[in-house]
Structure 1
Amino acid sequence: MLTVSDLRAGYSRGADVLKGLRFDVAKGESVALMGRNGMGKTTFVKALMGCLPHVRGSITFNGTEIRGLPPYRISNLGIAYVPQGREIFGDFTVAENLAMGVIGKPLKVDSVDFVFDYFPILAERRTQLAGTMSGGQQQQLAIARALVGRPQLLLLDEPSEGIQPSIVQDIAMTLKRIAAEEALTVIVVEQNIDLVFRLATSVRFIENGLIKTGVSIDEVRSDPTLVSRYLTV
């Protein structure tokens, strides 16, 4: 589904954070991207989404080269992005935030109500201003807003950040269910090993802008030195 070759990207010309990265994801996979801070995880998902000015290499999605396309076109091809910090519209209601997720889509979306089956709290609070909700509820809203456009690939950047552990577990299990029921492929940038174990089918470890190794989730469970090697300072 997604093939990334020799990806080089950064925030200013000539200062690459990603240094020739290669990354492949098959349809239906849930892949965790893990590594220490500053290794290029967020840069990677921003490069995929067309949010960086200086990107080189190749990014193909379902056979289409998307490197260099603006974010709205990448979104309309079937990639959704939940950024770190969620970036919901605090002055909009839950329903209005969800409506923003389908604006500009090339195909008419008949209803966004299907997300309420996955996140019932959003149905209860559809008229509430998003800025008055808890961090966990806002994270659920951000994910739901990404899903209403019916993407094929979902990018999540640190979805557990600032959320209490019990809610993290609930979100991980809900995402796993969504991936199965909606035939969704997931790439999640995450340091929370609990969430990774519950959601991911495989893990890629990134260091200094390159993927150093890719293993199944079972291999991570059986070899804890992998996590300590790539995540501890």
Structure 2
Amino acid sequence: MVGILEGSKSQCPRLGNIVGRIVAGALILMSCSPVFAQLKESDIDTLLTTALTETQNIPVNACVSMPNPGVKLPGNTETASLMYPSGDIRKDVAALIDAGLITVKFNSGEGASALAVFKAKAAGTDSSTSPNVALSYVELTPLGNKFYRYDDPKSGHLPQGLYGANRFCAHIQYGGVEKYMKPLKNPYDDNPHLVSWVNFKWKLDQHKTPWLNNAVLKEQLSIYSDKDSWSRSGILIELNDDKWELGNEPYTIRW
């Protein structure tokens, strides 16, 4: 029995080597397929030049946000989230108003907080028993609507449109690809697509984003530029029906 057990142990490294060779071989075969030859830097340029004109695809650090998560605008938000404890309007909220992105009807009503409604909805309970708080109605202006996007919590299992980030995203200039990963498919997940992680350059487009002239809003942006004045981000592209495109949550590495 001891001999059998020892013999079994001695086979484990060999089995591991065999599995490793199979996986490596599969990746080699994949890398030799015509699909890999189809992904060129010019194709990525074409894709990102178009995709980055859409607000939902802008890097989040080129966006400013309302102070707290809440309902999708237009809608009610807690007055307390828009004010300092002193009762003065928050500087960032005042800047959004001054830049012509939103209008606010302060203390226009009462009701449960956005967080209370969100928690009740997630738990399948009634939020009507939650304490009432002062609410203010926030509306998008025509200008604000051009830059607006709403980001729900990441998990698709949570209620949507109730407690997400209300953002205003600047237009950006695309500066080209710095490098990209050879397309691969991880055999250990359920993503059916080949993917490539792309590092690209971008900068704010001041000319197309008039609210960048507001110093308070511009200071809110988390922009880190190198000496060449370009910022860098990474984005995931996926091969879907023989066409390269942005997948779901493209700024998240999805294998």
> Normalization by structure 1: what TM-score?
0.27
Kindly indicate whether structure 1 or structure 2 has the higher relative contact order, using CA contacts under 8 Å at least 6 residues apart. Answer: 1
Please identify the structure whose Cα radius of gyration is greater. 2
> Normalization by structure 2: what TM-score?
0.26
